[in-house]
Structure 1
Amino acid sequence: MTTQVVILAAGMGSRLGRSLPKPLTELNDGRTIMQQQFDNIEHAFGKKTKVTIVVGYKLEHIIEAFPQASFVYNEQYDVTNTSKSLLRALRASATGGVLWMNGDVVFDPAILDRAASMMKRDQSFVTVNTSKVSDEEVKYTTSAEGYIKELSKTVKNGLGEAVGINYVSAADKAMLIHHLSKVEDQDYFERGIELAIEKNRMLVEPVDISDFYAVEVDFAEDLERANLFV
């Protein structure tokens, strides 16, 4: 089965204060954030992996940097959030499950090695870090059976943080598309996952990657932390 990967990169990334789209921010090793993502994808799945990038803000820079990718345009990038970017990408995807990631995550390539086993089983999952729980991050709780129950920034007593690397199975994709189409424009994609769990009992496993590094770069201090690893 062909691996499908989506990178969400339509946002303006204004908190980091850069003139280019945030995924094109250069790291200490000379690569951009998105280039290390491409390298990690190739490491885990091979050079022929189909990668689709959702673009919006200053899209021409990303298209020029990664001509080997496919592109989906979120023309409402300035008034919508990741829920609508992911919705567009899933609607444009081929049959089968989809792995997706936020375009600002710097992470250990071994995370995708761990994810690959779940993808082979076609099991929907969310990667999580249980070593810290910050108020401003997306947090999660689990059911008695160990599946994701709650997934949002407002979760109380969260067990950890969502990392921003996730997978929806072939069986669950239509369900997630339906709920992403119903959420508010400013909702994160996690709201669509929550609704699919609540309304349709979608089973989403938490995949603990706390033993690896993963940094979502929102602010300058995040970039400094990410540069300690690359």
Structure 2
Amino acid sequence: MTVQIVILAAGMGSRLGRSLPKPLTPLADGRSIMQQQHDNIRAAFGRDARITTVVGYRAETIVDAFPDVDYVYNDRYDQTNTSKSLLRALAKTGRSGVLWMNGDVVFDPRVLGRATELIEADRSFVTVDTASVGDEEVKYTVDAEGFVKNLSKTVVGGVGEAVGINYVSSRDKKALMRQLQRVNDQDYFERGIELGIVHDGLRVEPLDISDLYAVEVDFAEDLERANLFV
């Protein structure tokens, strides 16, 4: 089975204060953030992984660093958020389910191993950390059956944080794309998931990886924390 994987790397990453795209930020082990993502993907899926990267800001620097993957260009990277980058990528990946991740996530290689069962079963999920519920993070709640109910930075009473590694099944893909078209340009892709749950009955499972590390690198202190793990 070929696993379709999307990396969202179009943004400017201005909060980290570096000139290169954030995914090219070097880690303490000498790899870039994106290189450790590629390494984790290949370790989990080998040749059965097809990577599509969404680029925008200084796109050529990412293409030069990783010439052997597919690319989608978001020419409105400075006007749109991850919802529109993901929409462009999903449109290029055929009918299959898609695993996607933000291009700034440093994560334990075992995360993808844990996700494999759900991917093989073609079941939509978001990876979550129930050990932390930060005010500035994307939080979630669940319904009576344990599926994701609410998913945003403004969730009240969240039971954990979304990590930024997710999967949409082949069955749910069209509905998610439809909702990503509806959302505002500045919305995160989580808004599309949330609308899909409400309007299309998407059943999205929270995949708990609280015992493994996953750090979204937005600020210098996030990078310091990520470097403790690699």
State the TM-score, normalizing by the size of structure 1: 0.99
Counterpart in 1 of 2:72?
72
User: 2-side partners of 1:118 and 1:43: how far apart?
Assistant: 17
- Does residue 105 in structure 1 map to residue 105 in structure 2? yes
Find the residue that maps to 2:171 and give its secondary structure.
helix
Q: Tell me, in whole angstroms, the C-alpha distance in 2 between the residues paired with 1:102 and 1:187.
A: 14
Alpha-carbon deviation of 1:94?
2.0
Tell me how many residue pairs correspond in the alignment: 230
1:8 to 2:8 alignment: yes
**Alignment partner, residue 220 of structure 1:** 220
Q: CA deviation at 1:48?
A: 4.6
Q: Contact 2:3/2:48 (CA < 8 Å) preserved in 1?
A: no
Distance in 1 of aligned mates of 2:31 and 2:204: 32
Identify the residue that residue 189 of structure 2 maps to in structure 1.
Answer: 189
Are the aligned partners of 2:2 and 2:48 in contact in 1 as well (CA < 8 Å)? no
1:131 to partner: Cα distance: 0.3
Q: Deviations over 1:158-206 (max 9, x none)?
A: 0000000000000000000000000000000000000000001100000
* Alpha-carbon distance in 2 for matches of 1:184, 1:172: 20
| 1:95 equivalent in structure 2 | 95
Contact 2:53 2:72 in 1 (8 A): yes
SS at match of 2:76: coil
Q: Aligned with 2:113: secondary structure?
A: helix
- Summarize deviations over 1:72-130 as a string: whole Å, max 9, x none: 00000000000000000001112210000000000001000011110011000000000
Helix, strand or coil for the counterpart of 2:172? helix
**For 2:193 and 2:132, how far apart are their aligned partners in 1?**
22
The CA distance in 1 between the partners of 2:160 and 2:216, in whole Å, is: 14
- Is it true that 1:24 corresponds to 2:24 in the alignment? yes
The CA distance in 1 between the partners of 2:208 and 2:12, in whole Å, is 29
Aligned-partner Cα distance in 2 for 1:49–1:202: 25
Instruction: State percent identity of aligned pairs.
Output: 68
- Amino acid in the other structure paired with 2:12: M
Structure-1 residue corresponding to 2:203: 203
Matched residue, 2:136: 136
Q: State how far apart, in whole Å, the 2-side matches of 1:3 and 1:118 are.
A: 12
Once superposed, what is the RMSD of the aligned Cα atoms?
A: 0.6
Helix, strand or coil: the match of 1:92? coil
Determine the structure 2 residue equivalent to 1:145.
145
Query: What is the aligned partner in structure 1 of residue 158 from structure 2?
Result: 158
Alignment check: 8 A CA contact 2:99 2:167 kept: yes
TM superposition outliers: structure 1 runs of 4+ over 3 Å:
none
Gaps of 5+ in 2: none
The one-letter code matched in structure 2 to 1:51 is I
Q: Deviations over 1:2-37 (max 9, x none)?
A: 100000000000000001000000000000000000
Instruction: Specify the SS of the correspondent of 2:47.
Output: coil
Aligned amino acid, residue 52 of structure 1: T
Structure 1 Cα separation of the partners of residues 94 and 157 of structure 2: 38
Q: Match of 1:115, as an amino acid?
A: A
C-alpha deviation, 1:210, in angstroms: 0.2
Q: Does 1:34 align with 2:34?
A: yes
